[in-house]
Structure 1
């Protein structure tokens, strides 16, 4: 069930009504309803994979309790590693088995050993990377005694399966979500208003910005061999806004929907295309995943401590894993490596913690430098997105090669320049810039006017006939 579907437009009001007017007596009834709604929401994609979600939930619930009760380090380690291995095992089989089998077979064939890999004919369970990471962070935090195990199975089940974040995040932490789940929620009209505004803005990002850009990005990437350099540059820029509008739009809708039920989720995007360097970009893009890797992999490896060699190693490890998390394709790994290379000069010059403060533009040289830095960072990010979007390394390299032929055919590129889309992108960036210090553009000030204006834009320019799934559903 997609957030931008008619089915969800029916599902959400029904659950909202039942939640506040029928099952609102206790925290337990509220949570039970949300679990049933979440399982139904997930089963609309493919009910057969519900068993994976339920099994993962029970596994981490039980192992978390056993870790806390363990009377010896040996016992605690046993349950800890059981959870880690089984969780990553399921993720590996469904998401990475075919990739490793094919890659190993190609390696053997390259040295003259004939090999035909046995591949699994299964689809990737939607959301498996997200709910697996929910459970892993919970178990890890219990093992290192940062939190106590949750003994209420209903509460823990909701933490893992809560439908707004179930299939594409944000990746929640037990320290943030479980305390909210464990208390009865009371209706907050102001929070609900903010949630509706965030939902509408998220829909605008998805069906107007992302899906409109997708029309041209798909045409250009699918036919790059026949494109001139300017068209290819346009295609990369369109995809940059497509993936941002698509994923941050999903996150906005998820956060907004959750506010309707009185629950706050972690902020996942903070206007990343206004970043002045790649380190700032990763503090603003997919924040819940970046912070997850920081806390559970980067810092345990030593983080920014130790020798420069150790620091460089840790940076490359974290970016390669980040790339690999996104999918079983060498394109994602190269995308991760490119971001690590971008990050390297900042690390070597000890500038990776610059630009922590909010940007303010004034009529001076410093502001001009900041704008140039934003454009450079956007350009580097957009270049890396070419590898992320391409089906193979060969296609990505071919795409880049054709850009650097510097063959600018303005008459051909003109067919990919939509005046409506250019105006919408400019308007979108202006609105985001004006509201870059706010949680969202709609809620604060002139709420009804802005809400109606954005709804009109969605009705006039939304791409409703394409039925585009959210990009991150595949991860």
Structure 2
């Protein structure tokens, strides 16, 4: 079930109404209903993989209890590695087995050996990377004695399977979400209205911005061999806004939906395209994943406690693993490697934490220096996104080669391929302006002009929504 589908438009009000009617019955009934609704939400995609979600949930719940009951470190380690091994094993089989089998066969063919490995060719279970990381953080925190195991199976299952975050995050922590699940919720109209506003903004990002940009980004990347430099540059920029509108739009809908049920989720985006360097960009893009790798991989590897060589090694490890987490393709690995290279000068010069506050926090406009830094960071991000979007590393390099040829013959070739093409660039400029004036909040609908902004966005959503198809969110594939 997609957030931008008519089915969800029916599902959400029904679940919302029943959920708050059950408040008088008590918290346990509410949580049971919310868990049932979450399983129904997931089963609408493919009910068969619901059993995998149930197994993963049961495994982590059981091993969490066993670790807490262990009387010696050896037994505790056994249950910990059992959970980690099985979770990563499932993730590896479903997401990476075919990739490694195919890559190894291609490697052998370079030496004249013909190898034919058996491949699974199964559908990737939606959300497996996200709910696996939910479970992993939970068992790691128990193993490190940071938290006590949850003994209520319904509450724990709801933590893993809560439908707003189930298929594409944000990646939650037990320390943040479980206390809210266990605490009685009281309906607050202000919070519900704020949630509705955030949902509307998320839908605008997805339907108006991301899906509009996708029309041209897809066409240009599919025809990159015959496109000139200007068209390729626009294609890369369109994809940058497509993936931002798509994923941050999903996150806004998820956070807004959760607010309707009285539960706050972790913020996942904080205006990353206004970053002044790549380190700031990664503090503002997919925040829940970046912080997950920081806390559960970077810090255990030694973090920044060692010498410069250790810092560099750990930085490259988390970026490469982050790239591979996104998908079974060398393009994602190279994307992670490229971002690590971007990060390296900041790390070596100890300037990776220079920009912790939002740009021009107390001013209407950035300084010339800030503007140039933002433009440079955006260009670096766009170049990296070319690898993220391309089908292969060779295609990405071919795209960059043609882009750098400065061939402008034919002008903007994309203009004749589909609807509303002349309006897309002004639309993106309007979106950037809207985001800039909203950068101090989670969404634009605050302050004196919030109702005027709301009317403008709703009108835009209705106008573009007539033509938009209910397309999958990009991060569903991860």
TM-score, normalised on structure 2? 0.97
Equivalence map 1:90-109=2 (5 Å): 90-109=90-109
- 1:450 deviates by 2.7
Query: Deviations 1:29-88 (Å, cap 9, x if unpaired)?
Result: 111111111001001100000001000000000100111111000010000000000000
- 1:465 deviates by 4.1
3-state secondary structure, aligned to 1:411: coil
> Which residue number corresponds to residue 409 of structure 2?
409
Contact 2:137/2:173 (CA < 8 Å) preserved in 1?
yes
- 1:6 deviates by 0.2
Moved more, 456-465 or 213-222: 456-465
Matched, 1:441 2:444: yes
3-state secondary structure, aligned to 2:184: coil
The 1:361–1:22 alpha-carbon spacing in structure 2 relative to 1, beyond 3 Å, is closer
Equivalence map 1:1-400=2 (5 Å): 1-22=1-22, 24-360=24-360, 367-400=367-400
The 1:19–1:464 alpha-carbon spacing in structure 2 relative to 1, beyond 3 Å, is farther
- 1:23 deviates by 5.2
CA distance in 1, matches of 2:63, 2:80: 7
TM-score, normalised on structure 1? 0.97
CA distance in 2, matches of 1:429, 1:124: 34
3-state secondary structure, aligned to 1:421: helix
Contact 2:155/2:178 (CA < 8 Å) preserved in 1?
yes
CA distance in 1, matches of 2:300, 2:451: 47
Q: Give unmatched runs, 5+ long, in structure 1.
A: none
- 1:464 deviates by 4.6
Q: How many residues align?
A: 475
Contact 1:2/1:8 (CA < 8 Å) preserved in 2?
yes
CA distance in 1, matches of 2:426, 2:107: 49
- 1:444 deviates by 4.0
- 1:421 deviates by 1.4
- 1:455 deviates by 1.0
- 1:460 deviates by 0.9
The 1:100–1:39 alpha-carbon spacing in structure 2 relative to 1, beyond 3 Å, is same
3-state secondary structure, aligned to 2:431: helix
CA distance in 2, matches of 1:171, 1:121: 27
> Which residue number corresponds to residue 431 of structure 1?
434
- 1:445 deviates by 3.7
Contact 1:209/1:241 (CA < 8 Å) preserved in 2?
yes
Contact 1:208/1:463 (CA < 8 Å) preserved in 2?
no
The 1:145–1:396 alpha-carbon spacing in structure 2 relative to 1, beyond 3 Å, is same
CA distance in 1, matches of 2:66, 2:308: 39
Contact 1:197/1:443 (CA < 8 Å) preserved in 2?
no
CA distance in 2, matches of 1:163, 1:45: 12
- 1:220 deviates by 0.1
Moved more, 38-47 or 16-25: 16-25
Contact 1:16/1:260 (CA < 8 Å) preserved in 2?
yes
CA distance in 2, matches of 1:299, 1:223: 43
Contact 1:212/1:463 (CA < 8 Å) preserved in 2?
no
Moved more, 360-369 or 429-438: 360-369
Matched, 1:469 2:472: yes
- 1:443 deviates by 4.0
CA distance in 2, matches of 1:445, 1:465: 31
Query: Deviations 1:167-221 (Å, cap 9, x if unpaired)?
Result: 0000000000000000111101000010000000000000000000000000100
RMSD: 1.6
CA distance in 1, matches of 2:248, 2:205: 8
CA distance in 2, matches of 1:66, 1:164: 29
CA distance in 2, matches of 1:274, 1:100: 37
- 1:380 deviates by 0.3
Q: Give unmatched runs, 5+ long, in structure 2.
A: none
